[in-house]
């Protein structure tokens, strides 16, 4: 592969982000196919939600997305354990999620947190009403770790390739 093409690939945010998303999708989708009874759609969605494009803040953005996903998931789990899902619990959970994101300085990732909260609270599940939120929390959390791993591993690979080929 000519050096100019390699330099373009290793410097292009869109190519790197696309590669990460496809890689994350493949991991999540293959897990869904391998374990169809586990309902791992939320794992796949969480993987994609936390992946960041390459850039100076790539790892920081990914970690912020993971943190906000955890915030929303934990608030959802706690709200579900405290009271049955209804409009007032949902509104309260959204407000609590926003406040916690503010306190943890991840306001720019508030939408991710609210989506995670709503996944925990609203998604129907075949496991039953008591176990479902715990299971959703676990699958969202697992997806966050996979997405973080994809971002970190591809960053390490990209940095090594840039160093080997002397690409800034």
Structure tokens at 77: 């789990």
Total number of residues shown for the chain: 168
Residues of the chain predicted below pLDDT 50? none
DSSP string of 89-135, one letter each residue: HHHHHHHHHHHHHHHTT-GGGHHHHHHHHHHHHH---TT-TTTHHHH
Q: Which pLDDT value is given to residue 130?
A: 64
Q: How many domains does the chain have?
A: 1
Q: Which structural domain range is residue 93 located in?
A: 3-164
Exposure of 60 by Cβ count < 10 A (0-12 exposed, 13-18 middle, 19+ buried)?
A: exposed
Strand, coil or helix: 61: helix
Nearest to residue 142, comparing CAs of 33, 46, 21? Answer: 46
Q: Which pLDDT value is given to residue 128?
A: 65
Q: Which pLDDT value is given to residue 99?
A: 97
Residue 35, CA distances (Å) to 109, 118, 131 in order? 30, 24, 18
Q: Which pLDDT value is given to residue 95?
A: 98
Q: Which pLDDT value is given to residue 56?
A: 66
Q: What is the pTM of this model?
A: 0.79
């Amino acid at each position: 592969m000519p050096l100019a093409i390699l330099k373009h690939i290793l410097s292009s945010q869109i190519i790197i982000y696309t590669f990460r998303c496809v890689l994350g999708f493949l991991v999540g989708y293959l897990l869904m196919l391998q374990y169809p009874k586990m309902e791992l759609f939320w794992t796949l969605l969480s993987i994609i939600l936390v992946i960041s494009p390459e850039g100076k803040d790539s790892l920081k953005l990914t970690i912020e997305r993971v943190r906000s996903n955890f915030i929303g998931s934990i608030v959802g789990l706690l709200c579900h354990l405290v009271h049955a899902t209804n409009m007032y619990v949902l509104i309260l959970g959204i407000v609590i999620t926003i406040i916690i994101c503010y306190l943890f300085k991840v306001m720019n990732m508030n939408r991710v947190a609210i989506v995670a909260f709503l996944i925990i609270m609203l998604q129907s599940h075949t496991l039953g009403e008591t176990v479902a939120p715990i299971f959703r929390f676990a699958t969202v959390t697992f997806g966050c770790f996979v997405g973080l791993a994809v971002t970190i591993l591809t960053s390490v690979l990209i940095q090594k390739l840039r160093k080997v080929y002397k690409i800034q």
